[in-house]
């Protein structure tokens, strides 16, 4: 069975400051790792994913995450946040079979203030 832990339920940060949202996972098999973002009253959108290959993955809006197998982590980082980044962020894991049954963490609410 797989599980995901997001230790921080809420992360307040000032605009243009760097941020890191932490994610640790547990699995006995090879996994795919994801970060999803949820804006208020909307569904989830895929932010970035790790399937294989390079352990550093990037999104189009400046976020990046690094897969660390030895520490079973997939932390999300951004060097300079904007007000528009205020949202809830979910880390998720799935096994590498075709069904892609996602197991989500409990989410981290990122609050960016001016």
Partner 1 sequence: NAGVTQTPKFRVLKTGQSMTLLCAQDMNHEYMYWYRQDPGMGLRLIHYSVGEGTTAKGEVPDGYNVSRLKKQNFLLGLESAAPSQTSVYFCASRLTGFRFQPQHFGDGTRLSIL
Q: Specify the DSSP element, H or E, that contains 84.
A: none
Closest CB 48 distance from partner 1, rounded Å: 10
**Residue ranges in contact with partner 1 by CB under 8 A:** 4, 6, 9, 32, 41-46, 49, 51, 90, 98-107
Using CA atoms, how far apart are residues 69 and 44, in angstroms rounded to an integer?
26
User: Are 81 and 112 contacting, i.e. CB atoms less than 8 angstroms apart?
Assistant: yes
To partner 1, the closest distance from the beta carbon of 29 in angstroms equals 17
Least separation in angstroms between residue 97's CB and partner 1 is 11
11 DSSP β-pair partners: 110
Q: Which is nearer to partner 1, 3 or 80 (CB)?
A: 3
């Amino acid at each position: 069975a797989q599980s995901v832990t997001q230790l921080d339920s809420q992360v307040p940060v000032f605009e243009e400051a760097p941020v890191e949202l932490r994610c640790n996972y547990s699995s006995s098999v090879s996994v795919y790792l994801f970060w999803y973002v949820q804006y208020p009253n909307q569904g989830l959108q895929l932010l970035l994913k790790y399937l294989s290959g390079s352990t550093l993955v990037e999104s189009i809006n400046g976020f990046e995450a690094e897969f660390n197998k030895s520490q079973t982590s997939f932390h999300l980082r951004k060097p300079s946040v904007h007000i528009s980044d205020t949202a809830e962020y979910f880390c998720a894991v799935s096994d590498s079979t075709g069904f892609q049954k996602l197991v989500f963490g409990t989410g981290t609410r990122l609050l960016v203030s001016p």
